[in-house]
Amino acid sequence: MIEIRNDILTAVDERKGELLQILEDLILFPTVSPPARNTTEAQRYIEQFLKDEKFKTESWDVYPNDPNVVGVKKGTDSNEYKSLIINGHIDVAEVGDDSEWTVPVFDMEVIDGFAYGRGTADMKGAMAAALFAIKLLNEHGVELKGDLQFQSVIGEEVGEAGTLSCIEKGYDADFALVMDVSNSEIHGQGGVITGWITVKSKEVFHDAMRLNMIHAGGGVHGASAIEKMMKIIAALLELERHWAVTKQYPGFPAGANTINPAVIEGGRHAAFVADECRLWVTVHYYPNETYEEVIAEIEEHLHHAAMADPWLKENPPEFRWGGKSMIEDRGEIFPALELNDRHEAVQTLKKSHEQIWNTSAKLGMSKTVTDGGWFGQAGIPAAIYGPGTVEEAHTVDEKINIDELVKFTKTLLVFIEKWCNTKKD
């Protein structure tokens, strides 16, 4: 297997200022999501960068003013050698009130070995590292026999499936590396799906009719949808506790598969008995499950709960699951990603990390969710590996350790050269 030349790794240290300049350039673009629809300029910067490094690029609007960018550098022997996707998202978390920030939000500052600014950890630091690695590989004339693909996607912060859009356009590879925050550990992840549960009356009643609904002999077979939703919430809590006892997965604390009743909406106004109530839930599930299986369990459990209630039996709950955008349709899916630690690419990544860090690579499960699950669902082997910590992501005075960013860049260089010069089976 080909080994990266020491002079390229040395160049990372010698030219660290260039790495930080790329990161500063990216931070200057306020690609906050929500509100989103603001990434065109940042994506143009990345697309031009890739073109300068001899990548063939394509961009398209996933949503207006929110384009994906994909660059592909064909290998010298693509049919015989492994291909690689390097994937990252260009959007950053919302800022809100910035009065507590002690550094500029979108003008990077370096203080005591850390780079500060929104997106430094999540995840423009990784994006800058990958772009710098691509630049060094090109400048040093490193031959890659397999294809190298760089994906800069939109919408990850609000469940907008920019990565899914790449897959739907036919972009694939023998392995995908998702550079989201993992503290430079190699991760899989659980999955998340949101859903809306609606309880709706077939009839609408004036508030004065409540007396006839709740007393013997009232003669009105009606109910408040808000009160009946309380039974649905109780049933969800019961199922959540059942899951905590009966399900488990290595790398997750007990009970990590939660059902969160996040938002409730209902009723018309005070002169009506509430004829409709909607509950927005967020469901976390384990890597060895699919969201389709989890949805089926929830709906079956709530069906039995409804059948035990005379009114809900005739007015059963309705369901709407998932979605491609928390902004556009108030729904999202993040499929789970099982980490295959025996996969050749994961082993290569592990050895690449150990070569640079001089310590064993840690394998585990992400505390959060990323776009990595879309690759797994599409049958593309994948892993999450990126600098920065979840604790820094989305925070006030967000920052990333520069030494970690430098080591991550070197690890990428080693991994890209090793993997893209590995013969296919």
For the chain, give every domain's residue range.
6-189+337-420, 195-321
Query: Is 196:280 a contact under the CB 8 Å cutoff?
Result: yes
Q: Which pLDDT score, from 0 to 100, does residue 28 have?
A: 98
Can 6-189+337-420 and 195-321 be said to share one CATH topology? no
Reference 9, options 423, 385, 416; nearest CA is 416
Task: Give the C-alpha separation, 43 to 52, whole Å.
Answer: 14
Output the average pLDDT for the chain. Answer: 96
Q: pLDDT, tens digit, for every residue of 372-393?
A: 999 999 999 999 999 999 999 9
Could you write out the DSSP letters of every residue in 353-420?
A: HHHHHSSPPPEEE-SS--THHHHHHTT--EEE--SS-TTTTT-TT-EEEHHHHHHHHHHHHHHHHHHH
The answer to whether the bond into 35 is cis (omega within 30° of 0) is: yes
> Distances in Å between the alpha carbon of 302 and those of 22, 229, 305?
51, 11, 5
Identify the CA nearest to 226 among candidates 193, 264, 256.
264
Question: In the structure, what pLDDT confidence band is assigned to residue 1 with cuts at 50, 70 and 90?
Answer: very low
Active-site choice (24, 66, 122, 156): 156
Residue 221 has pLDDT above 90, yes or no: no
Position 3 scores a pLDDT of 63
The answer to whether the Cα torsion of 342, 72, 354, 113 is positive or negative is: negative
Q: How confident is the model at residue 194 (pLDDT cuts 50, 70, 90)?
A: very high
Sheet holding 109-111, edge to edge: 109-111, 114-116, 399-401
Does 109 participate in catalysis according to the annotation? Answer: no
C-alpha dist (Å) from residue 237 to 128, 255, 260, 282, 321? 43, 12, 9, 13, 18
- Asked if residue 2 has pLDDT above 60, the reply is no
- Other C-beta atoms lying within 10 Å of the C-beta of residue 271: 8
Distance CA 59, CA 81 (A): 26
65 pLDDT more than 80: yes
pLDDT, tens only, 123-167: 999 999 999 999 999 999 999 999 999 999 999 999 998 999 999
Strands 333-334 and 176-178: unpaired
Q: Which architecture characterizes domain 195-321 according to CATH? A: 2-Layer Sandwich (3.30)
What value does the mean pLDDT take over residues 396-408? 98
**Mean pLDDT value of segment 110-119:** 98
Does pLDDT of 329 surpass 60?
yes
pLDDT greater than 70 at residue 213 = yes
- Determine the average pLDDT of the residues in 66-91: 98
CA distance 122 to 19: 16
Residue 45: pLDDT over 80: yes
Q: 301: pLDDT confidence band, cut at 50, 70 and 90?
A: very high
Is 91 annotated as catalytic?
Answer: yes
pTM of the model: 0.94
Confidence (pLDDT) at 212: 84
Quickly state the pLDDT bin for 412 (edges 50, 70, 90): very high
What whole-number percentage of the chain has pLDDT above 70? 99
Tokens found for residue 156: 């990850």
Give the pLDDT confidence score for residue 216 in this predicted structure: 75
Residue of 91, 160, 174, 240 marked active site:
91
Rounded mean pLDDT, 352-371 = 96
CB neighbour class for 109 (10 Å; exposed up to 12, middle 13-18, buried from 19): middle
Nearest C-alpha neighbor of 71 from the set 147, 4, 158: 147
Q: Quickly tell me which residue has 């296919």 as its tokens.
A: 424
Phi-psi region of 388 (alpha: psi -120 to 50; beta: other; left: phi over 0): left
Homologous superfamily (CATH) of 6-189+337-420 is: Zn peptidases (3.40.630.10)
Q: What does the alpha-carbon distance between residue 319 and residue 218 come to, in Å, rounded to a whole number?
A: 31
Percentage of residues in the chain having pLDDT higher than 90: 93
